Structure 1
Amino acid sequence: MTADTKATGAPAARAPRPVALLLPGQGSQYRRMAAGLYAAEPVFAEAVDEVLGAMGAEGARMHADWLAERPELPVDHVLRAQPLLFAVDYALGRLVTSWGIRPVALLGHSIGEMAAATLAGVFTVRDAARVVLDRVTRLTAAPPGGMLAVAESAASLEPFLGDGVVVGAVNAPRQTVLGGPEDALRAVGETLRARGITAQRVPALSPFHSPAIAPHARGAEAVLATVERRPPRTVVHSCYTAAPLTAQQVADPAYWAAHPVDQVRFWPALDGLLAPGGLVVVEAGPGRTLSSLALRHPSVRRGDCMVVPLSPKRADGPEDDRVALGEAVDALRGEGYRIP
């Protein structure tokens, strides 16, 4: 009898693969994202309330706009997209852990890294909420701009850069996001499309991950210096360095303050997470942008890793959120997790 056989002679049940969480950022937001879970999932609702409650009066306005059919500010506005993404990402991460699943690693995209760090215990919820609110309040003064998703490699786009337009994110080998001021970004988009290159605007009203936003991010470092940061209890893969966070980075206010400006290196970070194989990657956030990227990775294509999104690509109503979550629970149960 082999070591992996029970006394009955039946094969022993395979242990479920460990879970890693992907937490999306700017561009994944949409109106009433995950709102269908607010009345249905108490853990999720409590976590959202904790985050937005820590943001005081502005958090109350965010909460009202999140659930409203006709919000005061659109969800793509910097005062809505970033804080609400942080709140929903964090709340979905809390929901996963409430099922008894303990993620072995976390990888966030842009503002998703703040949610990852909070779930890992680097920041308290109250401190993280303060940092996020301070960040977005500063960025309201940034010039109009945005981001452009281009179906080309970053290297091939070098000739089109300039006038403040830069590579803001490397999401996949042929999925690059450019960021910059509005007029210059629009001109680049027109040039690319005229050459037959697919280029689509990312939902954003600010030039994230470009130098245009740098002057308006100044001052955040001083706020971060007053906030306690602890070593992560769970490995956090940085989307900026494409490696696990180090103690030096966690302790450095400048590292966190630079997030809205610095380039996102999501694909190299994802490769570092997935290349060893043997993971279930759960996208704990709205939409399926990071899931679609992870599905392209060799370790997923050959079956070593599995991708499970918690949300629909878009929700037409509350039931869509609940159906998508139910499908995710079924997938995790099929993997061997005993979810109540």
Structure 2
Amino acid sequence: LGADVVVGRARAAGETVMVFPGQGSQRLGMGAQLYEQFPVFAAAFDDVVDALDQYLRLPLRQVMWGDDEGLLNSTEFAQPSLFAVEVALFALLRFWGVVPDYVIGHSVGELAAAQVAGVLSLQDAAKLVSARGRLMQALPAGGAMVAVAASQHEVEPLLVEGVDIAALNAPGSVVISGDQAAVRLIANRLADRGYRAHELAVPHAFHSSLMEPMLEEFARLASEIVVEQPQIPLISNVTGQLANADYGSAGYWVDHIRRPVRFADSVASLEAMGTSCFIEAGPTSGLGAAIEQSLKSAEPTVSVSALSTDKPESVAVLRAAARLSTSGIPVDWQSVFDDRSTQTVNLPTYAFQRQRFWLDANRIGQGDPASQPQVQNVESRFWEAVEREDVDGLADSIGVTASAMQTVLPALSSWRRAERTQSELDSWRYQVTWLSSP
């Protein structure tokens, strides 16, 4: 099988959750390929960016799709950029029929979750996420964050004034945050005891006391937004439980900045409610390990990332859809191939019908045949049907009945294979060519 063929064993579909990652998962160019290839993503992205740009000092596309990595990684732009990609990804997956039963975000990712769940309008969410990034960016430097492979109970006794637990990502994965010198001292002590510790490349000490100078102004801005009840059940970072009736108030969003991200508790709550599929809707696949480590049941769980750093975005998101489909999660494939020249075929009900159904991977990504001249399109469909030994497709391409093609197709297919082989052999040989002299 080819590298891009996805194989799985479909089970009865359980409940799904869409996960929106936080700061640190951003990368230059994120969303650009999806924007070019999927109109639904592009339309949603345009709407989000239009809402955000009125609050930003630079056009967001210029930052996201430019070449200044430092500018993108600044909190002022990293947070709105992630919000834009995540909300547009949700729109694309929803168009493909992938509608989650729950949503959850990690840190600033919860603002994307709240928006797609209907808690916040797009305009209010854009106002909130841009203010969050801008006010954090204005804080003085001097903080640090360190991820530690230890439990909360192992880390808490070592905490000192000025250092907080910022995130509980998994039962054995904690992030500490605060004063740089104090954080590094605790990290060294943990490393001396055999715990792995890794300092995160972040510009600020998020979810620590160093955030407090921006909270009053943020609370004032957050008090101006309108909050609605979730249309999709949402898990709170602050409590690790389903959002309650008070969810989304100004006080909540202040606590969301200051208190730790209870991601492990959130995953445990989702597992207890019967969730069996986690879909990470962000530019990378950074939360998969934390999700798997937080699950307690031995029952198989599907964890899928919509995008990754090692594949083109269009390939990654289509593979994600294939992973979901082969795991029993419904995907509307007609919508996936919207506006493209594709056709369904009837697979054989028993073996040895001698008809080939494998897709030619070499043809994937060579453009939409519908955009080519009509004659070229018909010819392409004709020879593709011959190579697949697809009687119905061949008949359809030239407008005759399938019965008329039953006899001629084997001969055509044999000739086509021989012609391709000869063509390859000819390409390896020297050829004598006559040219007119000038």
Aligned equivalent of 1:76: 73
Aligned equivalent of 1:18: 15
| 1:76 to partner: Cα distance | 2.5
- Counterpart secondary structure, 1:39: helix
Post-superposition CA distance 1:305-340 (Å, at most 9, x none): 31111111x24xxx5222211210111222243333
Over aligned residue pairs, what C-alpha RMSD do you find?
2.1
Alignment counterpart, residue 36 of structure 2, candidates 34, 39, 47: 39
When residues 192 and 15 of structure 1 are mapped into structure 2, their CA distance, relative to the original with a 3 A threshold, is: closer
**Which amino acid is 2:182 matched to?**
A
Aligned equivalent of 2:302: 306
When residues 79 and 151 of structure 1 are mapped into structure 2, their CA distance, relative to the original with a 3 A threshold, is: same
| Alignment TM-score, normalising by the size of structure 2 | 0.69
- Give the total of aligned pairs: 321
Distance, in Å, in 2 between the alignment partners of 1:203 and 1:91 is 26
**Which amino acid is 1:211 matched to?**
S
- Counterpart secondary structure, 1:16: coil
Query: What is the aligned-residue identity percentage?
Result: 32
| 1:256 to partner: Cα distance | 1.4
When residues 163 and 240 of structure 1 are mapped into structure 2, their CA distance, relative to the original with a 3 A threshold, is: same
Distance, in Å, in 2 between the alignment partners of 1:39 and 1:51 is 16
**Which amino acid is 1:310 matched to?**
A
Aligned 8 A contact 1:21 1:281 in 2: yes
Q: Which runs of 5+ in 1 are unaligned?
A: 1-12
| 2:245 corresponds to 1:253 | no
Distance, in Å, in 1 between the alignment partners of 2:304 and 2:21 is 14
Alignment counterpart, residue 323 of structure 1, candidates 312, 315, 319: 315
Distance, in Å, in 2 between the alignment partners of 1:99 and 1:292 is 26
Distance, in Å, in 2 between the alignment partners of 1:298 and 1:55 is 36
- Counterpart secondary structure, 1:180: strand
Aligned 8 A contact 1:23 1:107 in 2: yes
- Counterpart secondary structure, 2:98: coil
Post-superposition CA distance 1:212-245 (Å, at most 9, x none): 1112222212212211111010100111111111
Aligned equivalent of 1:5: none
| Alignment TM-score, normalising by the size of structure 1 | 0.87
**Which amino acid is 2:101 matched to?**
V
Distance, in Å, in 1 between the alignment partners of 2:244 and 2:274 is 22
| 1:67 to partner: Cα distance | 0.7
Aligned equivalent of 2:206: 208
| 1:263 to partner: Cα distance | 0.9
When residues 76 and 201 of structure 1 are mapped into structure 2, their CA distance, relative to the original with a 3 A threshold, is: farther
Aligned equivalent of 2:148: 150
Aligned equivalent of 1:92: 89
**Which amino acid is 2:64 matched to?**
W
Alignment counterpart, residue 220 of structure 1, candidates 195, 218, 222: 218
Distance, in Å, in 1 between the alignment partners of 2:111 and 2:251 is 14
| 1:301 to partner: Cα distance | 4.8
- Counterpart secondary structure, 1:245: coil
**Which amino acid is 2:283 matched to?**
P
Distance, in Å, in 2 between the alignment partners of 1:70 and 1:140 is 17
Distance, in Å, in 1 between the alignment partners of 2:106 and 2:53 is 25
Distance, in Å, in 2 between the alignment partners of 1:93 and 1:201 is 31
Range moving further from structure 2, 190-199 or 276-285:
190-199
Range moving further from structure 2, 209-218 or 50-59:
50-59
Q: Which runs of 5+ in 2 are unaligned?
A: 1-9, 336-438
**Which amino acid is 1:122 matched to?**
V
Within 5 Å, give how 1:116-265 maps onto structure 2. Answer: 116-144=113-141, 145-250=143-248, 252-265=249-262
Aligned equivalent of 1:3: none
